[in-house]
Amino acid sequence: MRWENLTVESGGHGRTADPALFGADAVTTRTFDTPEFRGITFHEIRARSIINRVPGASRMPFEWTVNPYRGCTHACVYCFARKTHSYLDLDTGLGFDSQIVVKVNAPDLLRRQLASPRWQGEHIAMGTNVDCYQRAEGRYRLMPGILTALRDRANPFSILTKGTLILRDLDLLTQAAEVTDVGISVSVGFTDTELWRTVEPGTPAPERRLDVVRTLGEHGIGCGVLMAPVIPFLGDHPAQLRATVRAIARAGATSVTPLVLHLRPGAREWFMAWLGQHHPHLVRRYERLYAEGAYAPKWYQRRITRQVHELASEYGIGPARAGMARRIRPEETRPDAPSTPSMTEPVQLSLI
Ligand code: SF4
């Protein structure tokens, strides 16, 4: 791999190198002996830029992103970002789950770039490539500095996460929401415990994620749920959809946006191998459903979207501005508060 010129710097836990890799000045690789991080290698880098422009051809509904990490210990089998690890000549399977790149200078760099006269204060999306509140954040604590920089410049931003660690930064989120648009979305595609354990093995349980939605709402920060991915034949039974939407509603989500599993190269191979191991009888059905490419057929997507919208209407979820957060009034958080049965439109986000 392109990191092979790493040289030992200190002890058994730190090594440095000078790779010509995504603008990094140097790399230190590190491991920790705690059970939480056993088997995980962190590649600490000093990035040269932290605000990234989304390529024009992208279908993403935002233009600027900040991603302090690459790779994700949440280890979701279907994760679309696996492919991006191959750009570093890192393995897109277990390597994606266990070789984590950490941009340790992200907060300082962001503060500098936000202060540049060339920066126009546009919306910045986080959690769009990998989860910025994955377990590594508990040790590296990059997000408090990032949120502080955004708050101080009143720069609008949004976060998509599966990480309950976001609640650690509740005060900063609240402060930021006082001065700018702050959008928080939590990803919960299903509430089936067995499915969660096998397909999202490194993530907090769906119920804990919904606790995040609830807690944010109790603190006046509206939180939407990206119901993603809805996994064909494993998480799409009407009873499963109902249980999930009902739980999302009970958590007080301001919106629910369903998104059917997509399988791009990089994720597809890993997911299909997992499927063959855990649900071999479904392999042929998947090959047929995804015969045209990365996306399930439109009829299937429309069916799921309609079902979720009907359930959301039944359970009274919404309304919210798509992708953008806002402070909500306390009365809006009451489970019995009247609500309009409208939601964000179904989207073709490339994130989960
Ligand atoms: S889907 Fe999100 S949380 Fe799961 S591994 Fe990928 S980036 Fe991490």
> pLDDT tens across 178-199, in order?
999 999 999 999 999 999 999 9
Q: Which of the pair, 326 or 126, is modelled with greater confidence?
A: 126
Residue 294 confidence (pLDDT) above 60: yes
- To test the pocket of ligand 1, the residue of 78, 131, 263 to mutate (highest count of ligand atoms within 8 Å of its CB) is 131
User: Is the CB of 199 inside a 6 Å radius of any atom of ligand 1?
Assistant: no
236 CB near ligand 1 (under 6 Å): no
Q: Which residues 6+ apart lie within 8 Å of 232 measured at CB?
A: 260, 261, 285, 286, 289, 296, 300
Task: Give 315 Cα–ligand 1 centroid separation in angstroms.
Answer: 28
Cα 202 to averaged position of ligand 1 atoms, centre (Å): 9
Q: Which residues pair with 70 in a beta bridge?
A: 101
Q: Atom of ligand 1 at shortest distance to CA of 352?
A: 1
pLDDT at 62: 84
Phi and psi of 195, rounded to 5°? Answer: -65, -45
pLDDT band at 20, cuts 50/70/90? very low
pTM, two decimals, is: 0.85
Reported confidence tier of residue 321, pLDDT bands at 50, 70, 90: very low
Identity of the residue numbered 149: A
Mean pLDDT of the chain: 85
pLDDT-derived band at 255, boundaries 50, 70, 90: very high
Dist. CA 102 → ligand 1 center (Å): 15
Residue 325's closest CA among 219, 190, 206, 204?
A: 219
- Indicate the pLDDT class of residue 14, thresholds 50, 70 and 90: very low
> Considering all CA atoms of the chain, what is the largest pairwise distance in Å, rounded to the nearest integer?
62
Least confident of 30-34, 177-181, 256-260: 30-34
Dump pLDDT digits (tens) for 199-212.
999 999 999 999 99
Provide the edge-to-edge strand list for the sheet that holds 64-66: 51-53, 64-66, 124-126, 157-161, 182-187, 223-230, 256-260
